[in-house]
């Protein structure tokens, strides 16, 4: 038998950037995200008579991380046979577009469904968190919040049940190359910044403000808070005492300048970035084409895509 699950990636508007418990992937702050319709992972699991195996987009991949995660599921859910994991990843891998979020959410959903388990979304989010923290949020459509918690049971994600709104993200793919500093290592370094404690405190305040902005469907406020949170996160990387670094490229910086210029023109345009050089511009569905046109004029080779609010996990 085989089971297939599809999960969409999510972009954090209030970031997860630091772990207080690396074994259980417990974050130092709660985070909040928007699920994206256009980026997703479809994963099929089937019994393998020999060993766990991973295929991504038709090619065999190193299955070490996947095998480690499946062994964690075996410890939590009871032993099960080795699996072949076949994924179609409709998002660049390792480039700061949250490919691991959709991948581990889809894998968790497929495995538990294959085992005949009927787990709640909160329970699924707790399991997926062990593979990728951001995956906890990809079980939900639209906006989701991941509660930092204080132990394995209390750290889970849930839907905000937010009102519908015409939000859109213009995704500027500066690079699809795998980033040189992985997220786990980046978080470790960022935590050595002298500003890290201040960032955690400010992030908690920004989360409360973001919740209010979402309930009010205030896109401008949502964008303002998200941009401030993201840029402060990336400042931590630059001020790390242990091996400072940046994910920014010259094109990243140029796009951020263009976004600020568009805002001065009166467009709704706010930037957010995860652990990578790619920029997501928060705007409205009506104004997204204008932002694409301006970016394309300035950077003709830039790959751009408009993303809208997506659905939670589903099964084929």
From residue 207, how far is each of 29, 35, 190, 213, 263 by CA, in Å?
A: 9, 17, 20, 10, 23
Q: In what order do the strands lie in the sheet with 167-173?
A: 270-272, 279-284, 167-173, 303-308
Smallest CA-to-CA distance from 183 within 139, 233, 136 is with 233
Q: Please report, for residues 120, 143, 284, 285, 309, the alpha-carbon distance to residue 166 in angstroms, rounded to integers and kept in the order given.
A: 29, 13, 6, 6, 9
Cβ–Cβ under 8 Å, residues 162 and 219: no
Whether the model pTM is above 0.85: yes
The pLDDT assigned to 96 comes to 60
Give the bridge partners for 31, in sequence order: 146
Which residues lie closer than 8 Å to 252 by C-beta, 6 or more apart? 174, 273, 277, 278, 279
CA-only gyration radius of the chain, Å: 19
Q: Which architecture, in CATH terms, is 2-163?
A: 2-Layer Sandwich (3.30)
For the chain, where do the domains classified as CATH 3.30.230.10 start and end?
2-163
| Residues 6+ away with beta carbon under 8 Å from 56 | 87, 88, 89, 93
Assigned token pair, 34: 């928007």
Residue 60 burial (CB count, 10 A): 9
| Number of other residues whose CB lies within 10 A of the CB of residue 291 | 25
Copy the structure tokens of residue 203: 């992030």
CB 157 within 8 A of CB 122: yes
pLDDT in tens, the chain (316 residues): 899 999 999 999 999 999 999 999 999 999 999 999 999 999 999 999 999 999 999 999 999 999 999 999 999 999 999 999 999 999 866 556 668 999 999 999 999 999 999 999 999 999 999 999 999 999 999 999 999 999 999 999 999 999 999 999 999 999 888 888 999 999 999 999 999 999 999 999 999 999 999 999 999 999 999 999 999 999 999 999 999 999 999 999 999 999 999 999 999 999 999 999 999 999 999 999 999 999 999 999 999 999 999 999 999 8
Burial (CB count within 10 angstroms: exposed 0-12, middle 13-18, buried 19+), residue 38: middle
Cβ neighbourhood burial of 239 (10 Å; 0-12, 13-18, 19+): middle
Cβ within 8 Å of residue 151, ≥6 positions away: 24, 26
CA 300 to each of CA 250, 262, 292: distance values in angstroms, whole numbers, following the listed order: 15, 17, 11
Q: Two tokens at 247?
A: 């994910």
From the list 171, 131, 175, the residue with the least C-alpha distance to 282 is 171
The architecture of the domain spanning 167-308 is 2-Layer Sandwich (3.30)
Exposure b/e, 119-148, CB count within 10 A at least 16 = b: bebbbbbbbbbbbbbbbbbbbbbbbbbbbb
In degrees and rounded to multiples of 5, residue 256 shows phi and psi of -60, -40
Instruction: Please count the residues of the chain.
Output: 316
Q: Where in the chain is the domain with CATH 3.30.70.890?
A: 167-308
């Amino acid at each position: 038998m085989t089971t297939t699950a599809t999960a969409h990636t999510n972009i954090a508007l209030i970031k997860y950037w630091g772990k207080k418990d690396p074994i259980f992937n417990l974050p130092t702050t709660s985070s909040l995200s928007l699920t994206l319709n256009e980026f997703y992972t479809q994963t099929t699991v089937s019994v393998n008579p020999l060993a766990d195996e991973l295929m991504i987009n038709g090619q065999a991949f190193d299955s070490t991380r996947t095998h480690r995660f499946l062994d964690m599921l075996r410890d939590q859910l009871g032993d099960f046979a080795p699996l072949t994991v076949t994924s179609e990843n409709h998002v660049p891998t390792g480039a700061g577009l949250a490919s691991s979020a959709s991948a581990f959410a889809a894998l968790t959903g497929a495995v538990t469904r294959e085992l005949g388990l009927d787990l709640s979304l909160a329970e699924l989010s707790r399991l997926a968190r062990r593979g990728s923290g951001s995956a906890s949020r990809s079980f939900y459509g639209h906006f989701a919040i991941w509660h930092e918690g204080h132990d394995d049971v209390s750290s889970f994600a849930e839907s905000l049940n937010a009102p519908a709104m015409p939000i859109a993200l213009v995704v500027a793919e500066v690079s699809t190359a795998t980033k040189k500093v992985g997220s786990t290592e980046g978080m470790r370094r960022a935590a050595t910044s002298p500003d890290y404690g201040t960032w955690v405190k400010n992030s908690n305040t920004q989360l409360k403000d973001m919740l209010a902005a979402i309930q009010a469907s205030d896109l401008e406020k949502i964008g303002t808070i998200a941009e401030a949170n993201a840029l402060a996160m990336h400042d931590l990387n630059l001020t790390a005492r242990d091996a400072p670094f940046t994910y920014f490229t010259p094109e990243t910086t140029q796009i951020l300048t263009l976004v600020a210029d568009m805002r001065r023109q009166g467009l709704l345009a706010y930037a957010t970035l995860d652990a990578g050089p790619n920029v997501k511009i928060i705007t409205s569905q009506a104004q997204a084409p204008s932002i694409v046109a301006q970016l394309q004029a300035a950077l003709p080779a830039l790959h751009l895509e408009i993303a809208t609010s997506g659905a939670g996990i589903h099964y084929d």
